[in-house]
């Protein structure tokens, strides 16, 4: 780890830090830890105390993960935005949503129509993903594998909506008691359903997040989104790019970030759970680079996501970026009609539910396409040279210019790939369509993925 930190601290050696990190920093859940530049200021892990052991024993049987169950619930209670991934006939379908967590269940409010509702009607097996992070404690990732139920009955919906509202707005340590004490009010007729997810398995992971990585994390640190040039898309771009955001803005989102989620159909995941016929979608956060119109992800040559891709290469890849200070008007953004990636009844009825001057912007991009595993050393050497160039870029507007100057891989990259090629692969996602969205509902600014000055993990008592 110290050697990796040393390599990362030297700009000319960062390619090697990335490559070596693939082998020694691989995560069991399939996510590769970002190259470490500095040691986080506070401990991510501490030695177990008797109290911690007792709390671990209280964890539900369905939980497996690095974090204590107390910290998992604290993160879920502290969050208001996540992604639900459903099984779609074409690709795993991932949608950013507002949610509330209480009584060991996830609650999501939704329009009664749309792709995610249709997918849940066909298959209740879903995955719900939550990421939360800061530079002091690290990057926490939670996957909630379970069965989704659409609640439309008026009385039951009233109870579920009450739980959602309390959990969405409430302080983490007060939510469960408030839910236990509250009584739901009757609801007037409204075109609204609640999605309730009951877990069958929950996993968690935490990794370090160096300060240097924050500039390419989901949070827009400088509070700026470049004004779109409003140039008409090329013929090929018009066939791929959809959604409400300009093509320029979508490309900026993909270039300016380095953390996304790859979503697979989960065949390998199902096989890994003996004796049970499960086909939950699989979702894992990964480092990536976007260039030549494709998504590239480095990975060990085994693991669940690689196994899934081998059996079914149709995947989706999701990128989110958000700001607590920008308004839609300042960012020159349209209102998005909700956080889905398809037309909804809600968006058609009310296309501007959020004020253009309200702080809080959430941008979402879904890339749907076919994944290919690349393990040829010579091909990987050139692609990893481009990957590192984009990953380490500090000026997004100069990325394409820098890429145009790359013709061949440096000799040292070729030698490195020859030595490491058998232990790693590059995942190349060729998009067939790219959709985009922005929030049109007010965000809970105290429960965004970046914690600001609030703790990521529950404080020791």
427-428-434-436 Cα dihedral, nearest 10 degrees = 40
Nearest-CA neighbor of 432 among 255, 245, 239? 239
What's the confidence (pLDDT) of residue 35?
A: 38
CA–CA dist 106, 123 (Å, integer)? 17
CA–CA dist 126, 274 (Å, integer)? 19
Q: How many CB atoms lie under 10 A from the CB of residue 249?
A: 24
pLDDT band at 224 (very low <50, low <70, confident <90, very high): confident
pTM to 2 decimals?
Answer: 0.83
CATH code for the part of the protein at 40-209 = 2.30.110.10
Percent of the chain with pLDDT over 70: 79
Q: Are 430 and 294 in contact (CB under 8 A)?
A: yes
pLDDT band at 329 (very low <50, low <70, confident <90, very high): confident
Mark out the alpha helices in 230-365 (DSSP H runs). 235-240, 247-256, 267-271, 304-311, 345-349
Task: Name the DSSP class of 410.
Answer: -
Provide the residue ranges of all domains of the chain, joining segments of one domain with +. 40-209, 211-444
The residues pairing with 430 across neighbouring beta strands, listed in sequence order, are: 370
185 pLDDT exceeds 70? yes
Q: Are 182 and 175 in contact (CB under 8 A)?
A: no
Residues 12-48 have pLDDT tens digits of 455 545 444 443 333 334 344 333 334 444 444 445 5
Stretch 282-294: mean pLDDT, rounded? Answer: 96
Q: Which of 16-30, 119-133, 234-248, 432-446 is the most confident on average?
A: 119-133
Stretch 318-329: mean pLDDT, rounded? Answer: 88
11 pLDDT exceeds 60? no
Class of CATH domain 211-444: mainly beta
203-55-447-150 Cα dihedral, nearest 10 degrees = 60
What's the confidence (pLDDT) of residue 334?
A: 64
Q: Are 175 and 169 in contact (CB under 8 A)?
A: no
- Given this chain, do its domains 40-209 and 211-444 carry the same CATH topology? yes
| Rg of the chain taking only CA atoms, in angstroms | 22
Nearest-CA neighbor of 338 among 320, 351, 326? 351
Helix axes 14-24, 377-391, angle to 10 degrees: 110
Where is average pLDDT lowest: 1-15, 125-139, 426-440? 1-15
Pair of tokens at residue 86: 């459903």
Q: What is the mean pLDDT of the chain?
A: 82
272 pLDDT exceeds 80? no
pLDDT band at 56 (very low <50, low <70, confident <90, very high): low
Half-sphere exposure of 146 (CA within 13 A, CB side): 23
CA–CA dist 412, 415 (Å, integer)? 5
Handedness of CA 58, 63, 68, 72 (dihedral sign): negative
339 pLDDT exceeds 90? no
What's the confidence (pLDDT) of residue 425?
A: 93
CA–CA dist 402, 389 (Å, integer)? 8
Stretch 200-219: mean pLDDT, rounded? Answer: 89
What's the confidence (pLDDT) of residue 269?
A: 60
Q: How many CB atoms lie under 10 A from the CB of residue 27?
A: 17
416 pLDDT exceeds 70? yes
257 pLDDT exceeds 90? yes
């Amino acid at each position: 780890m110290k050697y990796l930190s040393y390599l990362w601290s030297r700009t000319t050696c960062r390619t090697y830090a990335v490559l070596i990190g693939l082998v020694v920093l691989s995560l069991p859940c399939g996510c590769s830890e970002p190259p470490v530049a500095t040691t986080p200021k506070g401990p991510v892990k501490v030695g177990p105390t008797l109290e911690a052991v007792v709390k671990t024993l209280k964890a539900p049987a369905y939980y497996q993960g690095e974090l204590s169950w107390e910290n998992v619930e604290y993160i879920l209670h502290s969050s208001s935005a996540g992604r639900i991934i459903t099984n779609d006939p074409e690709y795993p379908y991932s949608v950013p949503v507002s949610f509330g967590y209480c009584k060991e269940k996830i609650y999501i409010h939704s329009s009664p129509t749309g792709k995610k509702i249709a997918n849940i009607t066909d298959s209740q097996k879903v995955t719900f993903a939550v990421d939360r992070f800061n530079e002091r404690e690290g990057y926490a990732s939670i996957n909630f594998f379970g069965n989704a139920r659409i609640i439309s009955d008026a009385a039951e919906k009233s109870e579920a909506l009450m739980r959602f509202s309390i959990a969405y707005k409430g302080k983490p340590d007060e939510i469960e008691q408030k839910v236990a004490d509250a009584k739901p009010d009757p609801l007037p007729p409204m075109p609204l359903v609640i999605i309730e997810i009951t877990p069958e398995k929950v996993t968690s992971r935490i990794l370090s997040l160096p300060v240097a990585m924050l500039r390419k994390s989901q949070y827009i640190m400088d509070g700026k989104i470049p004004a779109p040039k409003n140039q008409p898309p090329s013929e090929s771009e018009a066939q791929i790019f959809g959604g409400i955001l300009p093509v320029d803005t979508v490309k900026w989102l993909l270039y300016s970030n380095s953390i996304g989620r790859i979503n697979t159909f989960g065949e390998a995941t199902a096989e890994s759970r003996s004796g049970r016929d499960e086909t939950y979608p699989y979702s894992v956060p990964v480092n990536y680079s976007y260039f030549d119109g494709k998504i590239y992800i480095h990975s060990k040559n085994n693991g669940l996501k690689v196994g899934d891709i081998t059996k079914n290469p149709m995947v989706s890849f999701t990128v989110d970026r958000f700001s607590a200070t920008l308004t839609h008007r300042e960012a020159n953004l349209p209102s998005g009609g909700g956080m889905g990636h398809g037309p909804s009844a809600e968006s058609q009825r009310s296309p501007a539910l959020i004020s253009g001057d309200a702080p809080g912007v959430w941008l979402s991009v879904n890339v749907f396409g076919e994944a290919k595993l690349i393990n040829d050393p010579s091909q990987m050497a050139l692609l990893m040279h481009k990957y590192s160039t984009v990953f380490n870029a500090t000026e997004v507007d100069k990325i394409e210019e820098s890429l145009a100057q790359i013709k061949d891989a440096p000799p040292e990259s070729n030698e490195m790939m020859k030595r490491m090629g058998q232990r790693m692969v590059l995942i190349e996602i060729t998009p067939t369509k790219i959709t985009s969205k922005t929030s049109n509902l007010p965000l809970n600014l105290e429960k965004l993925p970046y914690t600001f000055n609030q703790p990521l993990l529950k404080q020791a008592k």
